[in-house]
Amino acid sequence: MNPPEIVVLDLARLQYINSLGLSFLVKMERALQKASDHLVIINFPVQIKKAIDVISALPAMSVFMNREEADDYLLKIQKKEIGRGST
């Protein structure tokens, strides 16, 4: 069994996202989950995160306000995979 792929998006420079951009993120998240992979979003601008939270477009676990939160999450994923005996 291969370890999960992890896609990290750093949105520190994002100033605006429209419905097409949100749709892309949701579809990417679903496709990666289906393959047992992960989408991790870091440095999500607060104003955009609030709008997404209102519509509940993305799972809370995949969006992080900074790199340290994401690193903690990724460490937990890796430990979980190691615990399963994946190589």
**For position 13, what pLDDT does the model report?**
93
Average pLDDT score over residue span 20-27: 83
- Given a cut of 70, whether residue 44 has pLDDT beyond it is yes
Q: For the whole model, what pTM was predicted?
A: 0.61
Question: In angstroms, rounded to a whole number, what is the distance separating the alpha carbons of residues 74 and 40?
Answer: 8
Domain carrying residue 35: 6-82
Spatial CA neighbour of 14 closest among 45, 49, 36, 42: 45
pLDDT (tens digit per residue) in 28-37: 888 998 888 9
**Residue 1 covered by a domain:** no
Are 66 and 60 a contacting pair, CB within 8 Å? no
- How many domains does one find in the chain? 1
**Residue 87 covered by a domain:** no
Q: How far is CA 41 from CA 1, 37, 59, 72, in A?
A: 25, 13, 11, 13
Are 52 and 63 a contacting pair, CB within 8 Å? yes
Q: Which CATH number goes with the domain that contains 51?
A: 3.30.750.24
pLDDT (tens digit per residue) in 59-85: 655 677 788 887 887 777 767 755 655
**Residue 61 covered by a domain:** yes
pLDDT (tens digit per residue) in 2-23: 777 889 999 999 888 887 887 8
Coil, strand, or helix at residue 10? strand
